[in-house]
Amino acid sequence: MSEMLSADKIAALVDAAKQGQLPDPAVAPRSRRGHRLRTVDFSRPTKFSADHQRRITRATETFCQTVNTRLSTELRFPVELEVLNTSQLTWSAAQTQLPAGSLSVLLEVEPIGTRMVLAAEQSFVLTALECLLGGSAERPPRERRLSEIDWSLTRRLFDSMVHPLSLVWQELAGVTLQAEEIDPHDASQVASVSEPTFTILIECRIAKQSYALGLLIPWIAIEPVVQTISGRDDGRQAEEVKVTPMQRAMSDVPVRLRAEVASVELQVRDILALAPGSVVKFGARAEDGVMLFAENVKLARAQPGSHGPRRAVQICGPEGRGR
C-alpha cells in the first residue's frame, strides 16, 4: 500500500538528496528456496551396478585395442575401434539404439548357455568385405543384397572380432563366447522385452569413415557369473556348479561320525577276568592315532587332541601321515 507524502516531506527528501544523505532503500526479504524435485525414470533399469558397468566397459576397451591390430592386418587398412557410449536399458529399448539394418550375430556364452548379441552397421560390413576382396575403403560401397560369398566373408569378419572378445570375457568372468548364426530372425527371443540390458556402442573408423557397432548384454546372460565379474568369487560358485541334484539331496542326511582307537577280539573268560589295572593290548601303534568312521565305513586316520574344552581329532590321511 503506497503512502502519500506531504509537501514538507518532499522538500526534506530533496534537501537530503542534494547533500547525498538519502536513506537506504529497504531490502526485500529473500524468499525461501523451494525444494528441488528430482526426476526419476522408472523405465530405466538399474540391475547392473556401477562396478559391473565399469569392469565390463574396461574389458570392452581392452577388446577394442586388441581387435584394432587384427582387423587392420586382415583388411589392409588402418582400423580403430573405440567405446563411444554405454547405457543401461530394457532389452526392447536397447535394440532401438542399434543402427537400422544392422547385421547381428548371437554369442553363445559357454559353459553357462546364455546369449549376448553383437551387431554391426551394414555399411561397416560392406566396407570390410570390399577391403577383404582387395578394394578400397576410401568411399563406402553402396547398399546391396549380400551374396553367398558375402555371407561367408561376413562370417569370417565376425569371427575375427568374436575371438578377441571371447578372450577378454574369459579373463573377466571365466566364460567364452561362440558365434552362432548371423542376422538371426529370433534375436528378440534372447531376452524378454523388459530384461535389463547393458548396451555398449562402439565407433569403428576406417579411412576417415565412421561406423557403429553395438554389444547388447542382457542381465540374464551374466547373472550366473556376476560374482566373478565383481571380483568377489571365492571358489564356491565353481563348486556349486559341480554339485549334482542327487548330491544336493543327500547332503542333509545325518551320519554318525566316530573316532576309534583300535579294536581287538577277546574270549568271554578274558573279558570276565578284566579288573582295575588290567592291560589290554590292541596290536596297534600309539603313533598311528585313531581311525575315523562314518557309521561303519572307514574314512581316514586322525590324531586325537582337544579344541578348547572339547575333545577333537585332526585328520591326517589314510596312511597316518600329517598334511
pLDDT at 233: 56
Is residue 83 situated within a structural domain?
A: yes
pLDDT band at residue 101, thresholds of 50, 70 and 90? confident
CA distances to 222, 228, 229, 239, 308 from 243, rounded to whole Å, are 20, 18, 22, 7, 34
> Are 233 and 265 contained in the same domain?
no
> Are 178 and 306 contained in the same domain?
no
pLDDT at 214: 93
Average pLDDT for 129-144: 80
pLDDT at 303: 83
Is residue 123 situated within a structural domain?
A: yes
Is residue 213 situated within a structural domain?
A: yes
> Are 227 and 267 contained in the same domain?
no
Q: Is 203 exposed, middle or buried (0-12, 13-18, 19+ CB in 10 A)?
A: middle
pLDDT at 323: 39
What percent of the chain clears pLDDT 70, i.e. is strictly above it? Answer: 81
How many domains does the chain divide into?
A: 2
Helix 122-132 crosses helix 148-173 at what angle (to 10 degrees)?
Answer: 110
Helix 50-75 crosses helix 122-132 at what angle (to 10 degrees)?
Answer: 30
Q: 101-105, 149-153, 252-256: lowest mean pLDDT where?
A: 252-256
Is residue 3 situated within a structural domain?
A: no
* Residue 258 φ then ψ, to 5°: -135, 150
CATH of the domain at 87: 3.40.1550.10
Structural contact between residues 132 and 126, judged by C-beta atoms closer than 8 angstroms: no
The residue that leads in pLDDT, 87 or 137, is: 87
> Are 74 and 201 contained in the same domain?
yes
pLDDT band at residue 40, thresholds of 50, 70 and 90? very low
Average pLDDT for 11-21: 70
Residue 246 pLDDT exceeds 80 = no
Residue 241 pLDDT exceeds 90 = no
Average pLDDT for 35-60: 75
Which pairs from 302-306 meet CB under 8 Å and 24+ separation?
302/259, 304/259
The residue that leads in pLDDT, 207 or 82, is: 82
> Are 159 and 225 contained in the same domain?
yes
Give me the domain span that covers residue 166: 50-238
* Residue 213 φ then ψ, to 5°: -125, 155
Is residue 125 situated within a structural domain?
A: yes
Residue 193 pLDDT exceeds 80 = yes
Q: Which are the contacts of 241, defined by CB distance < 8 A and separation ≥ 6? A: none
Average pLDDT for 242-268: 80
pLDDT at 320: 45
> Are 95 and 197 contained in the same domain?
yes
Residue 11 pLDDT exceeds 90 = no
> Are 232 and 290 contained in the same domain?
no
pLDDT at 180: 87
Give the separation between CA 29 and CA 259, rounded to whole angstroms.
Answer: 86
CATH of the domain at 318: 2.30.330
Is residue 36 situated within a structural domain?
A: no
pLDDT at 321: 46
Is residue 16 situated within a structural domain?
A: no
Alpha helix positions (H), the chain: 7-18, 50-75, 91-96, 122-132, 148-173, 219-222, 226-229, 236-242, 245-250, 268-272
> Are 170 and 311 contained in the same domain?
no
Residue pLDDT, tens place only, 107-121: 999 999 899 999 998
Give the separation between CA 171 and CA 218, rounded to whole angstroms.
Answer: 19
Residue pLDDT, tens place only, 273-321: 999 989 888 888 877 788 888 888 888 888 888 766 778 888 887 654 4
Structural contact between residues 231 and 247, judged by C-beta atoms closer than 8 angstroms: no
Using DSSP, state whether 24 is helix, strand or coil: coil
Residue pLDDT, tens place only, 147-167: 888 888 899 999 999 999 999
Q: Sign of the CA dihedral 145, 149, 151, 153?
A: negative
Average pLDDT for 118-125: 90
Provide the 10 A C-beta neighbour count for residue 262: 14
pTM of the shown model: 0.59
Is residue 4 situated within a structural domain?
A: no
> Are 96 and 143 contained in the same domain?
yes
Average pLDDT for 134-141: 77
> Are 74 and 205 contained in the same domain?
yes
> Are 54 and 136 contained in the same domain?
yes
Q: What is the mean pLDDT of the chain?
A: 81
> Are 64 and 141 contained in the same domain?
yes
